[in-house]
Structure 1
Amino acid sequence: MAERPVWQLSASELAEQVARRETTAEEAVTATVARMRAVNGHLNAVVEDLGDEAIAQARGLDASLGKTGPVGPLHGVPVTIKVNVDQKGKSTTNGVKGFTEIIAPDDAPFVRNLTNAGAIVIGRTNTPEFSFRATTTNELHGRTFNPWNDWASAGGSSGGASAAVMSGIGPIAHGNDIGGSLRFPSAATGAVTVKPGLGRTPAWNPSQNVERGLLAQLMSVQGVICREVRDVRLAMRSAIAYDPHDPWQVPVPFDGPDMEQPMQVGFTKDTYQFECHPAVLTALETARDCLVDAGYEVVEVETPDIGEIGTTGYRALMGEVNVLMLNDIRRHGSAEINRMFDEYFELFPPFEGDELLRQMARRSHFIRQWNLLLERYPIVLTPFLPTPTYAWNRDAEGKDGIMEVLGCGIWSFAMNYMGLPAGVVSPCMHDGMPVAVQVVGKRFREDLVLNALEAVEERTGVMARKLFERETH
């Protein structure tokens, strides 16, 4: 087998090679920065190139390696950071022209956790306006392209992160997720991720001058997108370091207690009112067979009503957005995003006043139902979207487009609303594009979700390898 170029190596491989002095941090970062500069002109995944700073930092880490050993488990690993999170001295634009003057006074805790572990930031990645679309484009930075096909969306809102990591621009990409923003782009590009559960990773921007709404605090989480499951695990073990700025974070070890074997896995193909595409059924059945082959006991189950949970959660979030964010969207947003929010509000009428409070109270009922299911089945294999990849601007093509892309994402929204961990992996392809499935887990058991994703990946292959092979032929 031909030796892979440095920029194709996993974070796990790079960290091991640097620690063993088989390569240097400078070599790893220089190769990855060169790759970024070779492909990003078309992709537009990275919107702020920090390559020169990164190479200088890598030299410093190399100098310290001989004296103190690796500074942490990510020593010398190139990473990217999404532009909606603070990085000291950089602009936190959130994809909005009017926010370019917001300069971060310090790193967000998640960024600091990665860099404290030895990661080196090579660039900042694109996001849609206000990070509130399932595709990544904006008037400030332009459109991010899917590395598989220019027709397809790179997903959103962490579309820059997924396009970067799948194109070899660093093996770890930071992203975040309030309704699917880690999982939509991972599904769109064949990357892997786990949306952490509530309280797992620290969230706070030192540049913020007001607190986020309560639902945003409960639903939004920081995480990573990678090419390989082992790298998600590697990054998450460092990323969960406790930070007291986040009042929701709970300092729980990443790896939980062993489960009774064989572990029972719940399995459902139910997409409720949305027709399930045959390619998604094939992906679900392939993932199920992989888990059975890995020794899991997979049982088809009926879950609590995700149609109701997902729709309720989205309408509640829209209620909060209507009160706390809409003025900024009207003032700073483009005509397109304002029109889309009008359509969001028509399709998912925001709960208001007393009804919003009642629905937020009812959230605990949904969580209780799922907690009881997860007591018996600690992980559940589910659809993610009922259809494969969508066209890059489909969600801006009226209400039908929104429903086809976002409206059917009930399996995504519901997990944010309940604060449960959920990961995606793509076991199959359709029309030359990846097709993803989702694995949901008990709270604070991201490790179990990753175990299941890895069992699928081991049997169906790392999707990025197929992308890289295509590039060489």
Structure 2
Amino acid sequence: MAIDGEGDIMVVLPFPIEVLAMSAAPKNPVPLWQWSAVELSGAIRDARVSASDAVSSVVERIRAENGHLNAIVFDQTEAAKEQAASYDEILKTDGPIGPLHGVPVAIKINVDQKGTANSNGVVAFKDLIAPEDAPVVRNLKKAGAIIVGRTNTPEFSFRATTVNELHGRTYNPWDDNHSPGGSSGGASSAVAAGFCPIAHGNDIGGSLRFPAYQTGAVTVRPTLGRVPAYNPSGKEERSLLAQLMSVQGIIAREVRDVRLATKVMAGYDARDPMQVPLPFEGPAVEQPIKVALCRETNGYSMHPAIDAALEKTAEQLEKAGYRVEEAAPPMIREAAAEALPALYADCEIFIGEVIKKYGSAEIQKAFDFYFENYPPTDAEGLLRAMSRRTRYLREWNVFLEDYPLILTPFMMRPGFTWNEDLDSSAGTKDIFDSSVYSWLINFLGLPASIAPAGYHDGLPISVQIIGRRFREDLTLDAAEALERVNGVQIHELWKRKGLR
């Protein structure tokens, strides 16, 4: 037993030895705020650094840089320092609470954290105080993580960039005019700036992967049912497509941290009846693992830099021992034609009136653009689309039996400027048309990782690796192979700024 930062009794879970073994850390000459979660957890567990040292280092960084970046919009650093000191004492007497003992983390403001507001970036919801922790917050706390703050999101978490009337605009540490992505843009900006090695986010159409793509971070969109989701503050259940397309996840600087934190957050929680408590590591697959290199563009004209990145990535995976072949999953165009009209029909039915009542002029304009470019289907069309979704997923599942991994662009263009999605209806369409392999994967409920693939005009670009259902481990293995040859992109950012 132990006491958490709010004074509540917390059960110390018996995490597997192999999870803790992942935390082994070498000596590291860089500041603690630059360390990975794996390095920090190992060093804290071995008493080479303290939780207080780790938290104090990121707190200094937050206080130096967050005033401009506005990634963390609810500061919990004072409570975090007190909690870190108590965790140092717990370590001495009882050992580590779990595999993230003393590691600083951030939580997105659209999930419940007990005693704080779940505003979802909306002024009218600024006083919606969570009565209990969401499952992901509970699991991170049980693992020993220390929350340093809550990160920004656009209104209703429904834009490709991060800005709202309640908390303002979040900036990208690479460049002020380059969007940090959305909706987990506060999370991506926070990890890129060094405010925490891992930050919680979520993804209904790309809200983990857009921010990772824009900031050189890494992530995995877990399979539907892998990570439990539930907000105790919710007055009613989420809509059908929100339940089927939205997942909880982690944005980090390094793939090993995504793996560790995703395993932690996937702890079973009975409050999510859709969760499937399968082991994170699946059975061995035939070697060499076949990877389908997918160049199908759904009619979009792919940017030469992205085409070159795909080609280079394919060569890198071949050298890493994978077998890469050009192949495309079936029914891409048919599924893509239904995904966004179905999602926006779902939105219109469930949150359309709420957005009109409580949303700003900007978010209403955004939805006008969404509906203009991808007209919502009617109720019967929505039901028929959901019926056909089963066929699309079946076809993809069969394809993935032959090719356990699929290499695709995430966006078929380099990144976008901070307000490009709202500058014009055509700008919105270009961003979404170029990212068909983002929202289509949500519609199908498959896992997908973002991995580094180089730079264009001085800014990071990435590729996406899609896997079989519940095989996040395979997508992360491939992402880690790419990280080994391409480097940690945020480390490059720090080098350019003279910080590393």
TM-score of the two chains, using structure 2 as the length reference: 0.93
Give the match for residue 457 of structure 1: 483
Give the match for residue 207 of structure 2: 181
Secondary structure, counterpart of 1:436 in structure 2: strand
Q: CA deviation at 1:259?
A: 1.3
Give the match for residue 196 of structure 2: 170
Match of 1:418 among 439, 444, 447: 444
Give the match for residue 106 of structure 1: 132
Q: CA deviation at 1:273?
A: 1.1
Q: CA deviation at 1:309?
A: 1.8
Q: CA deviation at 1:206?
A: 0.6
Higher mean displacement: 279-288 or 428-437: 279-288
- Give the distance between the partners of 1:438 and 1:91, measured in 2 at CA: 33
Q: Give the letter for the 1:228 counterpart.
A: E
- Give the distance between the partners of 1:66 and 1:2, measured in 2 at CA: 23
- Give the distance between the partners of 2:332 and 2:161, measured in 1 at CA: 23
Mapping 1:121-132, distance limit 5 Å? 121-132=147-158
Q: CA deviation at 1:306?
A: 2.6
Mapping 1:152-163, distance limit 5 Å? 152-163=178-189
Q: CA deviation at 1:152?
A: 0.6
Tell me the alpha carbon deviations over residues 152-173 of structure 1, each in whole angstroms, 9 at most, x when there is no partner.
Answer: 1000000000010011010000
Secondary structure, counterpart of 2:460 in structure 1: strand
Secondary structure, counterpart of 1:472 in structure 2: coil
Give the match for residue 406 of structure 1: 432
Give the match for residue 149 of structure 1: 175
- Give the distance between the partners of 1:428 and 1:300, measured in 2 at CA: 21
Give the match for residue 202 of structure 1: 228
Give the match for residue 71 of structure 2: 45
Higher mean displacement: 82-91 or 310-319: 310-319
* Unaligned ranges ≥5, structure 1: none
Q: CA deviation at 1:49?
A: 0.7
* Unaligned ranges ≥5, structure 2: 1-26
Tell me the alpha carbon deviations over residues 17-56 of structure 1, each in whole angstroms, 9 at most, x when there is no partner.
Answer: 0000000001100111111111111111110110000111
- Give the distance between the partners of 1:435 and 1:307, measured in 2 at CA: 25
Q: CA deviation at 1:408?
A: 2.6
- Give the distance between the partners of 1:272 and 1:214, measured in 2 at CA: 26
2:295 touches 2:328 (CA, 8 Å); kept in 1? no
Q: CA deviation at 1:216?
A: 0.7
- Give the distance between the partners of 1:104 and 1:311, measured in 2 at CA: 37
Give the match for residue 33 of structure 1: 59
Give the match for residue 493 of structure 2: 467
- Give the distance between the partners of 1:385 and 1:174, measured in 2 at CA: 22
Tell me the alpha carbon deviations over residues 37-81 of structure 1, each in whole angstroms, 9 at most, x when there is no partner.
Answer: 111111111101100001111111111101111110000100000
Q: 1:265 to 1:72 in 2, by over 3 A?
A: same
Give the match for residue 281 of structure 2: 255
- Give the distance between the partners of 2:460 and 2:379, measured in 1 at CA: 42
Mapping 1:326-341, distance limit 5 Å? 326-341=352-367
Give the match for residue 8 of structure 2: none
- Give the distance between the partners of 1:300 and 1:347, measured in 2 at CA: 31
Secondary structure, counterpart of 1:344 in structure 2: helix
Secondary structure, counterpart of 1:194 in structure 2: strand
Give the match for residue 77 of structure 1: 103
Q: Runs of at least 4 residues of structure 1 off by over 6 A?
A: none
The number of equivalent residue pairs is 473
Match of 1:245 among 271, 294, 304: 271
Q: CA deviation at 1:359?
A: 0.8
- Give the distance between the partners of 1:154 and 1:311, measured in 2 at CA: 27
- Give the distance between the partners of 1:84 and 1:2, measured in 2 at CA: 34
Match of 2:313 among 259, 268, 287: 287
2:298 touches 2:436 (CA, 8 Å); kept in 1? no
1:310 touches 1:412 (CA, 8 Å); kept in 2? no
- Give the distance between the partners of 2:341 and 2:379, measured in 1 at CA: 13
Tell me the alpha carbon deviations over residues 260-289 of structure 1, each in whole angstroms, 9 at most, x when there is no partner.
Answer: 111111111222211111111121112111
Give the RMSD, CA atoms, in angstroms: 1.1
Give the match for residue 95 of structure 1: 121
- Give the distance between the partners of 1:470 and 1:222, measured in 2 at CA: 32
Q: CA deviation at 1:2?
A: 8.3
Secondary structure, counterpart of 2:163 in structure 1: coil
Q: 1:443 to 1:2 in 2, by over 3 A?
A: closer
- Give the distance between the partners of 2:181 and 2:361, measured in 1 at CA: 21
Give the match for residue 225 of structure 1: 251
Q: CA deviation at 1:380?
A: 0.6
Match of 1:63 among 89, 96, 109: 89
1:192 touches 1:423 (CA, 8 Å); kept in 2? yes
Give the match for residue 265 of structure 1: 291
Q: 1:246 to 1:97 in 2, by over 3 A?
A: same
Give the match for residue 133 of structure 1: 159
Give the match for residue 402 of structure 2: 376
Tell me the alpha carbon deviations over residues 145-203 of structure 1, each in whole angstroms, 9 at most, x when there is no partner.
Answer: 11101111000000000010011010000000000000000000010000001100000
- Give the distance between the partners of 2:28 and 2:174, measured in 1 at CA: 23
Q: CA deviation at 1:311?
A: 3.4
Higher mean displacement: 181-190 or 266-275: 266-275
Q: Give the letter for the 1:359 counterpart.
A: A
2:159 touches 2:366 (CA, 8 Å); kept in 1? no
Q: Give the letter for the 2:420 counterpart.
A: R
Match of 2:348 among 314, 322, 336: 322
- Give the distance between the partners of 2:177 and 2:380, measured in 1 at CA: 44
- Give the distance between the partners of 2:383 and 2:133, measured in 1 at CA: 34
Secondary structure, counterpart of 1:154 in structure 2: coil
Give the match for residue 355 of structure 1: 381
Question: Identity, % of aligned pairs?
Answer: 52
2:245 touches 2:445 (CA, 8 Å); kept in 1? yes
Secondary structure, counterpart of 1:34 in structure 2: helix
2:300 touches 2:433 (CA, 8 Å); kept in 1? no
2:208 touches 2:219 (CA, 8 Å); kept in 1? yes
